[in-house]
């Protein structure tokens, strides 16, 4: 099937370019082949065990995400019943555990191949276009609360503004680190090392280079820090909100995620049909 030029251009963001360059330069292990996935070069073994494993996990996780959303929507009907508050707290705890499971599996996948997780083929082009360092921007939490929770107290508003300022500052720090890594990828002497390594993996085995492996580790640390900021921001927001407000926030988050995913794959399918 002919590749869609529009999609290729859409994926050539600064981070996907860095991921592509570093991926193509990484040492090929015995039994590995090189492939192009959604315009980003990645490496995998013959059965692509890492990507397939996480993709299978994600599909099951999204099924459970829909089930949790159905449960949350049902719980919202009774959320103002004081006798059901403990039920709400139990539901919130289970939903947070569900998200923690995703982050744990994602971390393990990133340790095996951080480039695959930074430019994941198991998400639609729309989802990847909205990514910020491998996931949603932490500041999205505040927009979701603003659109789904309408009965905030003055104290809650003040606490949220403090959290917003802290989150924005940490986002800027991570963006600066990302920019530094991207500059390192394209600047000499690393750029020359990457070109040599890219030529080597196409014709010879080659040995792992400490400089390149260090860069790979730095990308993994960056992704882990971004995921931690996402998790911490959501957790602190939930500490500010009441159980009833939290249920509304969690419902809005799940609805947005699932809606974007359905729309993204629908658009990708329509583009494929055109070519």
Place of tokens 């499971």: 101
DSSP letters for 83-109: GGHHHHHHHHHHHHHHHHHHHHHHHHH
Yes or no: say if 106 and 198 are a contact pair by the CB < 8 Å rule: no
20/29 Cα distance (integer angstroms): 18
Sequence-distant (≥ 6) Cβ neighbours of residue 225 within 8 angstroms:
174, 177
DSSP letters for the chain: ----HHHHHHH--HHHHHHHHHHHHSPPPTTEEEEEETTEEEEEETT-HHHHHHHHHHHHHHHHHHHHHHHHHHHHTTTT-GGGHHHHHHHHHHHHHHHHHHHHHHHHHHHH-HHHHHS-TTS-HHHHHT-SSSS--TTHHHHHHHHH-----HHHHHHHHHHHHHHHHHHHHHHHHHHHHHHHHHSTTHHHHHHHHHHHHHH------HHHHHHHHHHHHHHHHHHHHHHHHHHHHHHHS-HHHHHHHHHHHHHHHHHHHHHHHHHHHHHHHH-
Tell me, what's the pLDDT at 191?
57
Instruction: Note the pLDDT tens digit of each residue in 143-175.
Output: 999 999 989 999 999 999 999 999 999 999 999
Tell me, what's the pLDDT at 190?
57
Listed as ranges, residues in the chain with pLDDT below 50 are: 1-12, 27-47, 200-205
20/25 Cα distance (integer angstroms): 9
Tell me, what's the pLDDT at 95?
98
Residue extents of the structural domains in the chain: 49-199+209-273
Instruction: Note the pLDDT tens digit of each residue in 87-125.
Output: 999 999 999 999 999 999 999 999 999 988 998 899 999
Radius of gyration of the chain (CA): 21
Tell me, what's the pLDDT at 80?
78
| Dihedral in degrees, nearest 10, Cα atoms 260, 229, 182, 177 | 160
Tell me, what's the pLDDT at 210?
82
Yes or no: say if 30 and 148 are a contact pair by the CB < 8 Å rule: no
């Amino acid at each position: 099937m002919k590749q869609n030029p529009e999609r290729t251009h859409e994926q050539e963001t600064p981070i996907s370019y860095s991921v592509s360059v570093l991926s193509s330069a990484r040492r090929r292990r015995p039994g590995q082949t090189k492939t192009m996935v959604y315009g980003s070069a990645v490496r995998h073994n013959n059965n692509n065990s890492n990507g397939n494993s996480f993709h299978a996990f994600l599909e099951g996780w999204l099924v459970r995400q829909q089930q949790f959303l159905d449960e949350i929507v049902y719980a919202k009907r009774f959320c103002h019943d004081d006798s059901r508050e403990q039920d709400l707290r139990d539901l919130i705890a289970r939903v947070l555990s569900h998200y923690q499971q995703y982050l744990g599996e994602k971390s393990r996948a990133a340790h095996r191949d951080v480039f695959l997780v930074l430019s994941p083929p198991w998400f639609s082009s729309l989802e990847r276009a909205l990514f910020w360092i491998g996931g949603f921007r932490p500041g999205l939490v505040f927009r979701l609360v603003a659109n789904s929770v309408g009965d905030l107290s003055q104290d809650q508003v003040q606490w949220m503004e403090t959290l917003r300022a802290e989150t924005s500052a940490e986002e800027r720090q991570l963006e600066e680190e990302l920019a530094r890594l991207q500059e390192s990828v394209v600047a000499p002497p690393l750029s020359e090392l990457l070109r040599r390594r890219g030529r080597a993996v196409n014709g010879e085995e080659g040995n792992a280079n400490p400089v390149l492996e260090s860069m790979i580790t730095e990308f993994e640390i960056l992704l882990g820090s971004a995921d931690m900021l996402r998790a911490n921001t959501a957790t602190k927001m939930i500490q500010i909100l009441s159980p009833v407000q939290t249920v509304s926030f969690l419902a809005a988050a799940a609805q947005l995620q699932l809606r974007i995913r359905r729309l993204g794959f629908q658009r990708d399918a329509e583009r494929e049909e055109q070519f």
